[in-house]
């Protein structure tokens, strides 16, 4: 039933539903609890025997993850008109998912000799055989997902616990995972919306930021950069929230600097330019990075930020002060 999706343009451009942060794990008979993966959130659209995988910003990433798309077709056994929600995940040497490993795979491209292995961890189904399931309660969508998908080496169904959030959170802590997500069993799917029907509890705070400039590097980084100047949008204006200079691998430094040099501009993109006591370049505000941090203060400033990864899958305009508060 390929035409079922093709005749519904919205099905081909669904943005994922997002969770709101909550500070502590809890138990609830009204919720299911899942592991929170440290990867790329992705929507897979299967129609006409082909797979399109796109990010939360609707960026098409089917080509660099073509092996995952092929595995998904196998997992569906010929079923068509299907839209699935999940996370692209890559394990580090420690056996724990790491976002930077998925990003490394993305940048490798489809012809890499030794591509980073990636799996698709599925947790929701939005369309089946051309019919929307988004108005169905989560419990019904979970049942449909497990009936439709036959897991294989690259396609997995995310395990969930019924009502027992605290134990899963403690297990995720012991395993070094990012945290958990608590989802209301009755919740409908709200594309592109951040809803308290889905709550996440993370072990560390992290958020996506826009790079508005960078300082010159010194020492071992004299040919690169020192710190990235970070911002988030508020009422359409880019507000400076701090800088980050730590957490970069050599590959991160090279990739980030390569992107920055293409974005130089004469004027500050910030509504109120920061006072920086070093030479710097301003940049067009299009590059997005993820940082972990200790606190986001009442003065709207990051404390103890550490670079995590480049986020080409996230749009700059999605990086808002409200999103930082919701993510934190």
C-beta of residue 310 within 8 angstroms of C-beta of residue 210: no
Catalytic residue among 36, 142, 200, 202: 36
C-beta of residue 221 within 8 angstroms of C-beta of residue 228: no
C-alpha 70: how far from its chain's center? 22
Main-chain dihedrals φ then ψ at residue 247, nearest 5 degrees: 100, 0
Gap between the Cα atoms of 289 and 214, Å rounded: 13
Length of the chain: 328
Q: Clarify whether 59 is annotated catalytic.
A: no
Q: Of 238, 240, 288, 282, nearest to 263 (Cα)?
A: 282
Gap between the Cα atoms of 305 and 250, Å rounded: 18
**179 Cβ neighbours under 8 A, 6+ residues apart:** 35, 36, 169, 172, 200, 201, 202, 203
Q: Residue 37 to residues 23, 83, 201: CA-CA distances in angstroms?
A: 18, 20, 12
Residue ranges of alpha helices (H) inside 40-123 are 66-76, 99-108
C-beta of residue 44 within 8 angstroms of C-beta of residue 51: yes
Helix (H) or strand (E) holding 82: strand 82-89
C-beta of residue 238 within 8 angstroms of C-beta of residue 270: yes
Gap between the Cα atoms of 187 and 141, Å rounded: 10
- Catalogue the active-site residues: 36
């Amino acid at each position: 039933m390929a035409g079922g999706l093709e005749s519904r343009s919205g099905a081909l451009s669904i943005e994922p539903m997002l969770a709101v942060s909550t500070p502590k794990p809890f138990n609830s008979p009204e919720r299911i609890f899942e592991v929170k993966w440290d990867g790329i959130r992705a929507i897979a659209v299967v129609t006409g025997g082909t797979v399109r995988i796109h990010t939360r910003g609707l960026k098409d990433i089917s080509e660099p993850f073509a092996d995952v798309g092929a595995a998904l077709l196998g997992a569906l056994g010929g079923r068509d008109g299907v839209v699935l929600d999940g996370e692209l995940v890559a394990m580090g040497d420690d056996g724990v998912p790491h976002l930077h490993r998925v990003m490394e795979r993305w940048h490798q491209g489809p012809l890499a000799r030794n591509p980073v292995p990636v799996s698709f961890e599925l947790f929701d189904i939005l369309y089946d055989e051309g019919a929307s399931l988004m108005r169905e309660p989560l419990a019904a969508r979970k049942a449909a997902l497990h009936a439709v998908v036959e897991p294989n080496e690259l396609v997995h169904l995310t395990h969930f616990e019924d009502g027992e959030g605290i134990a899963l959170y403690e297990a995720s802590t012991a395993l070094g995972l990012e945290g958990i997500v608590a989802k209301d069993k009755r919740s409908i799917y709200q594309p592109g919306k951040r809803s308290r029907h889905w709550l996440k509890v993370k072990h560390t705070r992290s958020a996506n930021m826009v790079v508005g400039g960078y300082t010159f590097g010194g020492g071992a980084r004299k040919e690169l950069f020192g710190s990235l100047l970070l911002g988030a949008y508020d009422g359409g204006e880019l507000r400076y929230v701090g800088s980050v200079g730590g957490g970069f691998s050599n590959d991160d430094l090279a990739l980030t600097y390569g992107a920055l040099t293409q974005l130089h501009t004469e004027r500050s993109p910030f509504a109120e330019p920061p006072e920086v006591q070093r030479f710097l370049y301003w940049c067009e505000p299009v590059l997005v990075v993820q940082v972990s941090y200790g606190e986001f203060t009442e003065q709207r400033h990051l404390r103890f930020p550490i670079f995590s990864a480049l986020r080409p899958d996230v749009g700059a305009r999605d990086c808002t002060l409200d999103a930082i508060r919701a993510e934190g």
